[in-house]
Amino acid sequence: MKNTILVTGSSGFVGAHFCQGQEVIRFETDLLDRQATLNFCKEIRPTCVIHLAGQSFVPDSLDDPRRTYQINFWGTYNLLEALKLSEFKGRFLYIGSSHVYGSVKKLPILEESSLLPNTPYGASKMAAEGVCCQFSQTGPFEVIIARPFNQIGPGQSSRFAISSFAKQVVEYKKKKRSSLSLGNLDVKRDLTDVRDAVVAYRLLLEKGKNGEIYNVCSGREISLKEVLDALIVRAGLSEVPIEKSENISRRREIKNFYGSYEKLQSQTKWKPKIPLEQTLNDLYEEWEAKII
């Protein structure tokens, strides 16, 4: 029987990369509409599902927590319920977030690390994970959970830090702006190329174990200042004026954050392959082509 992969969030940053070069069915129904979601699942009858749709911008969750919970928790619940009622018996991959960990005391972060989310976004993803865990035990289908860390690469919105850096550096070089407007550059993050991440998701759909959680990350940390410096060098610039924007400096920001992908590697043989330098170069070139 041919695999029919149903993808929610197919038009988003990660979804677009996941669907590239694959035959998939794109979920184009409002997940907050229970009946429409059920009707769609009954009509399509997929063999596996990857759930990428959601509200993924942390500042938006601080501005409108209720909306974030509605989309991330209730949207996930409605989809799981619809699949159960439509007698789905395949594999469901939930794309969660490393934000469920919050401020951890020990690095690298393992799947067994405590969950202490400090934003509505992180808490909403933790709540959605909870209902995924419940469905993994009650069936009638298998549920796997991925916890990606910061995913970056071509196609990412400039609302997110690294893409914003690349865009602003290009704008400065092309004399579209006189300085860069940035938040805290001292924080360190775990960055994974989105093209590596979607390979991990395909492997988890195939080899992930029911009820299990997997970090998807690079396994190393890098400061945002180092990332910015690399983009400045890529632009052929030596110095760029920077204005610190307190609005961009995120409330409750965690200073250092990186994970371990050992569990994912041991069960799927996955490891990140695309060097950060290539990711930044591709992102820079994308913005260079867009900004005239």
Per-residue pLDDT for the chain (292 aa), expressed as one digit of tens each?
A: 467 999 999 999 999 999 999 999 999 999 999 999 999 999 999 999 999 999 999 999 999 999 999 999 999 999 999 999 999 999 999 999 999 999 998 999 999 999 999 999 999 999 999 999 999 999 899 999 999 999 999 999 999 999 999 999 999 999 999 999 999 999 999 999 999 999 999 999 999 999 999 999 999 999 999 999 999 999 999 989 999 887 654 656 789 999 999 999 999 999 999 999 999 999 999 999 999 8
CB atoms inside a 10 Å sphere around CB 274: 17
The first and second tokens of residue 21, run together, are: 């070069």
| pLDDT at position 2 | 67
> Residue 75 and residue 68: Cα distance in Å, rounded?
10
Q: Which residue has the tokens 């400061």?
A: 223
- Please check whether residue 199 is in contact with residue 270, taking contact to mean a CB–CB distance below 8 angstroms: yes
> Residue 20 and residue 205: Cα distance in Å, rounded?
16
- Residue 208 DSSP class: P
> Residue 111 and residue 266: Cα distance in Å, rounded?
13
- The pairing of strands 222-223 and 188-189 is antiparallel
Say how many residues make up the chain. Answer: 292
Indicate if 156-188+221-255+275-290 has the same CATH topology as 5-151+192-216: no
3-state secondary structure (DSSP) of residue 224 = helix
Q: Which residues pair with 191 in a beta bridge?
A: 150
Ranges of each domain in the chain: 5-151+192-216, 156-188+221-255+275-290
CATH superfamily of 5-151+192-216: NAD(P)-binding Rossmann-like Domain (3.40.50.720)
CATH T-level assignment (fold) for domain 156-188+221-255+275-290 = UDP-galactose 4-epimerase; domain 1 (3.90.25)
| pLDDT at position 249 | 47
| pLDDT at position 250 | 60
The residues, ordered by sequence, that sit 6+ positions from 263 with a Cβ below 8 Å of its Cβ are 110, 111, 214, 215
| pLDDT at position 245 | 84
| pLDDT at position 246 | 74
